[in-house]
Structure 1
Amino acid sequence: MSAISIGRLRGGFCVYWDGPDGKRRRYQLEARTRAAAEAEGRDRYLRETGTPEGLTISAIWTSYIDHLGAKPTATTMRHTGKAVLETFGQLRPDQITIKDCRDYLRKRIADGRKVGTVHTELGHLRSATRWAAKLRLIDQAPHIELPPKPDSDVRPMSDAQIRALIDGCGAPHIRLAVVLLLATGARVGAVLDLTWQRVDFERGVIDLRLPDGLTRKGRAVVPMNRMARAALESAYQARLTDHVVEWAGERIKSIRKGYSAALTRAKLTDVNIHQIRHSVAVRMLAGGQSIEAVAQYLGHSNTAITYKTYARFLPEHLADAAEILNFDDLRKVK
């Protein structure tokens, strides 16, 4: 938190900052380590600088982002906060009602936003207020009503589309990223985060997990298939950085432009990059893999997520059950 500083006072730690009147505020802390003092100092700052009536959503939102640090959710909340804080920013948590949440949903839908987007925005509001309640910065978190999260409308890609996409990749690093997305079913962030240290050619596995656990999204350890091994071995010989997907000796943080160019060359439209992950899951299920195996491969912590998202693409798995419901032969029974 940039507003505060941690110092030493009477053999321990203290937190201090400059108030709006220009005078320095300083408070002794109970913490006995620097890390504990940083956390306690932030809490003390929030308590001391809150309005007499309590902290506003704007203050809580900013502090929660700071608490998240380098986690991807912090970056996302800087974007979702633009809309959320416009409506809720000046309110205290205890002032928020279910009607406010429903009014917000209607307003955002009227503005052309999808229900899924609003679900994410209000979900961030819920997370921030629950965090504040957990730290006892507020008495209790308000009930934030979320709209039902819609089923994904992303369709799996056909084999012809996948082949065209691979062939449409111009730059080597774009092709490598797409091949890894297809071979692992990972999210694009996991592929771009992948380092050579987590690629084990001897065991034939790719560890997509981050060692510091910065992301909430599940990441798996997956076997290295023939396609992935060929691409990785070629890239390993030409490596210039610790990251697997690189270009000109620099780590790649986004393949948006390269992926878009590949779609243009492949003459594909409306093929979102996340569609690759869906295609991988559906292909595995169609090949006879169990829901449990697919869930583990995708890094899902709960197989219910896999069922909800992908089972609808495979109505044929209920074919035997459907046969039981043939009632047209009942007239033959005497």
Structure 2
Amino acid sequence: MTREEAATALDSNATEVRLQGARFFSRISETDDLQRIKAALRRETVPWIRRALLSAVARAEQAPPQQVAQLPSADDLGGLDAQQIFAKAAEEVADSLIHELAPVVGLLRVVLPKELDGAYESSQSRRYLDQLHGLMTAIRDLKRANAVPTYKQFTLAELIAEVIEAVPNPGGATIQPAGISRLIVSADKDQLRLAISNGLRNALEAVQLHSIAKPPKVVVTWGATQSENYVVIKDTGPGFNGDPAAALKLGATSKNGHVGFGLALAQQAMLSMQGDIALKNDEDGAHFEIRWFRDNENLIR
């Protein structure tokens, strides 16, 4: 899609066409695009298109004027756009960090137990090393969350079953899945997995610490409206401290030994697909909800 085609798309009566235009500008908007983007934003009522346009405004407001600094065209860069270049750079930086850190962490895991003579398991060194390992994992996940999404069709129930099986549940909390078994969705599967995994992991950690239900329970539901897909995770834990939205910030955590990346990574993964996350406290625990645009899907019950 060219810039002219994207500008025309913003005026379309078709939701899917406007979304394509909004996504184009969310990736490579410039200062000169601001007027048309803001005009489209004033008219737009569809939430996921508004989110893409807001991303476009933020990007354009940070961009230098065209006459001062002109980005290379996609043709000059072998078909890559600015977002793809950014994603590639982020991937290379993350890979370099992991490449340098992983051997050091691996060696420390071997050497420290020997040097501490059996005291390693209860030592501060182990706790700090576990935190470093968690940070490395978060760097990998941050790279994935910010990547340009690749949309594919798949069965949402199967992905959720895979997530439930893979997420640690040391407290043995009951996980109750409830949704349309054959709902086919269009999404970036890795980014959606990242978002659901972190939401479920947060819920399981919450009920392990405290639960109003015995045994502790987490309910995972999913489905689709006429325009959006959704996944909701509800737990019977103590809920979020203070403003739930604050939990979406990088580094926000109330748990000792956590880097505080989990829900922020989930949020970034959904924003990459022009989706969103909503957090709130209910009477019986916390409510974690993700939504994204429903595009070219088949609903089979």
TM-score for both structures, normalised by structure 1 = 0.27
Relative contact order, higher structure (CA 8 A, sep 6+): 2
Structure 1 or 2: more strand by fraction: 2
Structure with max Cα Rg: 1
